[in-house]
Structure 1
Amino acid sequence: MADERTRYFRRLSRLRRSARRWSVLAGGLGGAAAVLTPYAGLGLPDAAWAAGAGSAVALAAWRWIDLRALAARPAPPPLDPAEAAARSRARLVAAVERLPVGPGVLAEVRRVRSRVALRGTSAAEPWARLDRAALTLAGMAPRLTGLAEPAVVEAATADRSLRDLANRVASVERALRLAPADARPPLAEAHQALTAQLDSGVAAYERLVVAAAGYVAEDARPDAEHPAAAQLTEATDLLHGVAAALAELRAVNTPLRAP
């Protein structure tokens, strides 16, 4: 969506083109009416020319009045470059989200951008592990139903919390690099504690994903043969039987040759 300043100049341009167009049309119709109107008086066709010329003159005058009124108003101030860039990004994101694969593409872009932002910090490796575990859990989520549904909700909450913790670890680490020597010990201690929390949290998340995989495996494993395999075995036996019957029928219908 265009900003106020852009809309102002677009409207100004439209009014200017419209005023010029109606002025040209009024001049043409007025000249034609002056040439074609007989000196003896106005006939019905001549009245139509004169009426058209008068209407065009009136519309042209109104357009010029609107144009002057709009031009007399001060133009809205230009947008701040940061705000303009933010609006452009919002429009682009909205356009991509309307595509069938848009949400997935945007999620992947955000995931890659977050990973790149943590590159070079101690939070990068736990973040990558968390990413792999989260993608694995997302693939199993449609099968985690019933008693497993609360675990999926807890995993989503833990995922957001761990990612926020990873960003804090990276921020403290960057600040530690810039801190003077006398301020580094408390920052280093805080960084070490946050890193330990992040590692333990990611490890717990990975254990949850392993448990979810075990649930999916046990839920999908039947006591006997899989129904699909049983149906395929029955169809195979049926085809073998039909083939054998056709072979026997062909042998019976084949006439014996004389010696």
Structure 2
Amino acid sequence: MADERTRYFRQLGRLRRSARRWSVTAGGLGGAAAVLTPYAGLGLPDAAWAAGAGGALVLAAWRWIDLRALAARPAPPELDPAEAAARSRARLVAAVERLPVGPGVLAEVRRVRSRMALRGTSAAEPWARLDRAALTLAGMTGRLTGLAEPALLEAAEADRSLRDLAAKVASVERALRVAPAAARPPLAEAHRTLTGQLEQGVAAYERLVVAAAGYVAEDARPDADHPAASRLTEATDLLHGVAGALSELRGVGTPLRTP
């Protein structure tokens, strides 16, 4: 979707082309009527030429009036380049989200961008562990129902909080690299504190994922044999019985040979 300034000039160009097209049409039809009418007098064909010329002339006049009215309005101000880029990016994201695989593609792009932003910092390794654990938990989401649903909500909130904490660790670490010597001790202490919190949070998240896997495994484990295995066993026994019966029938139907 174009911005207001682009739409203004696009509409202006359309009106100008339309006004010129109808002016040419009106001139052609009017000239034809002026040349052809004196030869045979006025008749139905001449009336058609004249009516066409008059209609084209009226439409051309309307288009020129609309063009002048639009041109008299001031053009919308030009967008700031940063704002224009942001709007273009938002339109692209909206277009991709409408595709069947769009949300998944956008999520992967955001993950890669976040990982690249943390590259070279101490937050990169905990973030990678958190990302692997989050993907593992996402694969079990459909089976974590009932009593496990509150845990999913807590996990989603913890995921957002830990990713934000990883970004803070990276920011403090980068500031620590360029800070003067006098300002480094408090920054280093803050970095150690944040890093410790990030490590603890990621470890707790991983334990939650392990517990969720145990819940899924326990919930899916039947009390006896799996129903599919039981049905396959019954089918196997049935086939063995049918094969034995066919073998006996063949023996009965074969005549005995006399020596």
Q: TM-score, with normalisation over the residues of structure 2?
A: 0.95
**Corresponding residue of 1:53:** 53
Q: Which amino acid aligns with 1:28?
A: G
Q: Could you tell me how far apart the structure 1 residues matched to 2:40 and 2:131 are?
A: 92
Provide the secondary structure at the position in 1 that maps to 2:66: helix
**Corresponding residue of 2:17:** 17
Pairing 1:30-179 to 2, within 5 Å after superposition: 30-38=30-38, 42-179=42-179
Q: Could you tell me how far apart the structure 1 residues matched to 2:54 and 2:151 are?
A: 78
Identity of aligned residues (%): 88
Structure 1's 258 and 27: CA in aligned 2 closer, same or farther, altered over 3 A?
farther
Q: Which amino acid aligns with 2:113?
A: R
**Corresponding residue of 2:254:** 254
Q: Could you tell me how far apart the structure 1 residues matched to 2:219 and 2:40 are?
A: 102
**Residue 189 of structure 2 is aligned to residue 196 of structure 1:** no
**Corresponding residue of 2:187:** 187
Q: Which amino acid aligns with 1:88?
A: S
**Corresponding residue of 2:244:** 244
Query: RMSD of the alignment, in Å?
Result: 1.5
Q: Which moved more, 1:215-224 or 1:177-186?
A: 215-224
Instruction: Return the offset for 1:255.
Output: 3.6
Q: Could you tell me how far apart the structure 2 residues matched to 1:89 and 1:233 are?
A: 58
Q: Deviations over 1:43-92 (max 9, x none)?
A: 23322221111111111122122222322333222221111111111111
Structure 1's 258 and 81: CA in aligned 2 closer, same or farther, altered over 3 A?
farther
Q: Could you tell me how far apart the structure 2 residues matched to 1:35 and 1:254 are?
A: 109
Q: Could you tell me how far apart the structure 1 residues matched to 2:149 and 2:65 are?
A: 67
Q: Which moved more, 1:120-129 or 1:240-249?
A: 240-249
Q: Which moved more, 1:225-234 or 1:71-80?
A: 71-80
Instruction: Return the offset for 1:192.
Output: 0.5
Q: Could you tell me how far apart the structure 1 residues matched to 2:60 and 2:129 are?
A: 70
**Residue 228 of structure 2 is aligned to residue 228 of structure 1:** yes
Q: Could you tell me how far apart the structure 1 residues matched to 2:72 and 2:186 are?
A: 63
Instruction: Return the offset for 1:249.
Output: 2.0
Q: Could you tell me how far apart the structure 1 residues matched to 2:76 and 2:141 are?
A: 51
Q: Could you tell me how far apart the structure 1 residues matched to 2:138 and 2:40 are?
A: 90
Instruction: Return the offset for 1:38.
Output: 3.5
Q: Which amino acid aligns with 1:58?
A: V
Q: Which moved more, 1:35-44 or 1:191-200?
A: 35-44
Q: Could you tell me how far apart the structure 2 residues matched to 1:124 and 1:68 are?
A: 61
Q: Which amino acid aligns with 1:235?
A: A
Unaligned ranges ≥5, structure 1: none
Provide the secondary structure at the position in 2 that maps to 1:37: helix
Q: Could you tell me how far apart the structure 1 residues matched to 2:31 and 2:80 are?
A: 50
Q: Could you tell me how far apart the structure 1 residues matched to 2:105 and 2:238 are?
A: 47
Q: Could you tell me how far apart the structure 1 residues matched to 2:79 and 2:174 are?
A: 33
Unaligned ranges ≥5, structure 2: none
Provide the secondary structure at the position in 1 that maps to 2:222: coil
